[in-house]
């Protein structure tokens, strides 16, 4: 019993150190070599002020995001192999057309589950300086049984499309890939039939060097009420209790990626943001497509509004378009655009 208690306390200590590190704070004893988490300090803090007035480009982006989420959640609706395979295929065709319309060449990675054809959709931009290094931006397009999946994960898909459109005619040092994944939801979650794991395995088999993967997962719900944000045990001692921020979540091996992505986001957008690198056993840390890339040894993180820890309509029929705050989602996407640019740029060698 004593050993079990010590192990539990050690795991919680690691998690707390990881959170503090990614928020730019040092542990009280300031022993950098003793901590299992050894990330550099972040410069700056999460934005806490009144959000800037929405300008015309932001309003246009919000309208674009609303249109795409509405198409997925209302015109197509529930989309999964179990009850709605036709709608899942319709969603794939629509995403492919949207990516192609921007000038991207789209590749379908086909595979079969229970006799049903499934696919991941990839649009890529070859890097100009170091094309062998690859940055993947991904989001799953299926919805859980019984829900139209507006926030989970229409919001992530809409963000993926918006970022792909804005990157279509840019040059980047690293190769950029925008990938829409099938079958993230149960019963395929964390199985070999999960689309992102099928994709990550292919990357590993090809010997590809994925230097960063961002999973866009349930990113459109915000709540300004104190106490609206929930956490696994003890995390509330470090994190804010108001669910008005966007989160950047990685495993311990992805700590540096979390730090770099969060710093880039804060540099490009004034919006509340929190992040951390945690043990994978912490509830929620591996609850999306970044988990698949961890299995293949790649650094990856999840961008999220924290889903079930905040969103009352998570995996419910009420996960509808009206629950999403599109202006705040647009601010998040604008910040993520800066993250994509930063991750795809050749960084100077560390001292």
95 falls in which pLDDT band (50, 70, 90)? very high
pLDDT digits (tens, 9 = 90+) for 100-151: 998 889 999 999 999 999 999 999 999 999 999 999 999 999 999 999 999 9
Q: How far is CA 59 from the centre of its chain?
A: 23
The mean predicted confidence, pLDDT, of the chain is 89
Handedness of CA 53, 55, 61, 62 (dihedral sign): positive
What is the model's pLDDT at position 110? 97
Where in the sequence is the domain holding 283, given as residue range(s)? 43-344
- Any bridge partners for residue 288, and if so which? none
pTM above 0.85, yes or no: yes
Whether 31 has a pLDDT exceeding 50, the answer reads no
Please indicate, yes or no, if residue 21 is contained in any of the structural domains.
Answer: no
CATH number at residue 198: 3.40.630.10
Is there a domain that residue 23 lies in? Answer: no
Residue 324 forms part of a structural domain: yes
Q: Report pLDDT for 350.
A: 44
Say if residue 41's pLDDT is above 90: no
Q: Is the Cβ–Cβ distance between 144 and 315 less than 8 Å?
A: yes
Q: Are 241 and 225 in contact (CB under 8 A)?
A: no
Percent of the chain scoring above 90 in pLDDT: 83
Instruction: Name the burial class of residue 146, with classes exposed (0-12), middle (13-18) and buried (19+) by CB atoms within 10 angstroms of its CB.
Output: middle
Return the minimum-mean-pLDDT range out of 10-14, 216-220, 263-267. 10-14
24 pLDDT higher than 50 = no
Helix (H) or strand (E) holding 300, with range, is strand 300-304
- Secondary structure (DSSP) of 31-57: -TTTSS--PPPPSS----SPPPPP-HH
Lowest mean pLDDT, pick from 34-38, 141-145, 317-321: 34-38
Number of domains forming the structure of the chain: 1
Is residue 248's pLDDT more than 70?
yes
Strands (E) across 103-189 are located at 106-113, 116-125, 130-140, 174-181
Question: Is there a contact between 174 and 135 (Cβ–Cβ < 8 Å)?
Answer: yes
Please list the alpha-helical segments (H only) found in the chain: 2-22, 56-70, 85-101, 156-167, 195-205, 255-268, 290-295, 326-344
Please check whether residue 156 is in contact with residue 288, taking contact to mean a CB–CB distance below 8 angstroms: no
Q: Which two tokens stand for residue 139?
A: 């989001």
Q: Which stretch of 17-31, 141-155, 251-265, 306-320 has the lowest confidence by average pLDDT?
A: 17-31
Which of 48-57, 109-118, 217-226, 340-349 has the lowest average pLDDT? 340-349
With respect to residue 14, please indicate whether it lies within any of the assigned structural domains.
no
d(CA 255, CA 258): 5
The two tokens of residue 187 are: 């019963």
User: Angle at which helices 255-268 and 326-344 pack, to 10 degrees?
Assistant: 120
d(CA 163, CA 140) in angstroms, rounded, equals 15
What is the mean pLDDT of the segment spanning 290-294? 98
What average pLDDT does the segment 309-319 reach? 98
Domain for residue 158, yes or no?
A: yes
In a domain, 307, yes or no: yes
pLDDT of 22 > 90? The answer is: no
d(Cα 5, Cα 68) in Å, to the nearest integer? 48
């Amino acid at each position: 019993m004593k050993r079990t208690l010590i192990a539990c306390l050690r795991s919680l200590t690691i998690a707390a150190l990881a959170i503090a590190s990614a928020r730019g704070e040092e542990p009280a004893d300031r022993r950098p070599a003793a901590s299992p988490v050894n990330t550099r300090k972040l410069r700056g803090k999460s934005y806490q002020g009144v959000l800037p007035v929405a300008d015309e480009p932001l309003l246009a982006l919000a309208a674009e995001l609303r249109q795409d989420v509405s198409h997925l959640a209302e015109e197509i609706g529930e989309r999964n192999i179990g009850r709605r395979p036709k709608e899942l295929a319709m969603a794939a065709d629509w995403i492919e057309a949207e990516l192609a319309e921007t000038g991207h060449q789209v590749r379908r990675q086909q595979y079969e589950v229970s006799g049903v054809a499934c696919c991941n959709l990839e649009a890529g931009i070859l890097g100009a300086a170091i094309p062998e290094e690859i940055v993947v931006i991904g989001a799953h397009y299926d919805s859980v049984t019984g829900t139209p999946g507006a926030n989970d994960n229409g919001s992530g898909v809409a963000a993926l499309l918006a970022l792909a459109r804005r990157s279509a005619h840019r040059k980047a040092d690293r190769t950029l890939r925008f990938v829409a994944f099938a079958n993230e939801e149960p019963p395929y979650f964390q199985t070999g039939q999960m689309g992102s794991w099928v994709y990550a395995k292919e990357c590993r088999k090809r010997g590809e060097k994925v230097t960063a993967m961002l999973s866009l997962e349930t990113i459109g719900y915000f709540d300004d009420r104190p106490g609206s944000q929930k956490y696994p045990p003890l995390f509330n001692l470090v994190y804010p209790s108001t669910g008005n921020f966007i989160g950047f979540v990685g495993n311990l091996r992805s700590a540096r990626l979390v730090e770099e992505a969060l710093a880039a986001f804060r540099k490009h957008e004034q919006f509340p943001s929190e992040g951390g690198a945690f043990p994978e056993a912490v509830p929620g840390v591996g609850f999306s497509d970044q988990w698949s890339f961890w299995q293949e040894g790649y650094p990856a993180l999840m961008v999220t509004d924290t889903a079930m820890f905040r969103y009352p309509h998570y995996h419910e029929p009420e996960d509808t378009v009206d629950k999403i705050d599109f202006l705040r989602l647009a601010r998040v996407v604008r910040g993520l655009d800066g993250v994509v640019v930063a991750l795809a740029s050749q960084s100077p060698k560390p001292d």
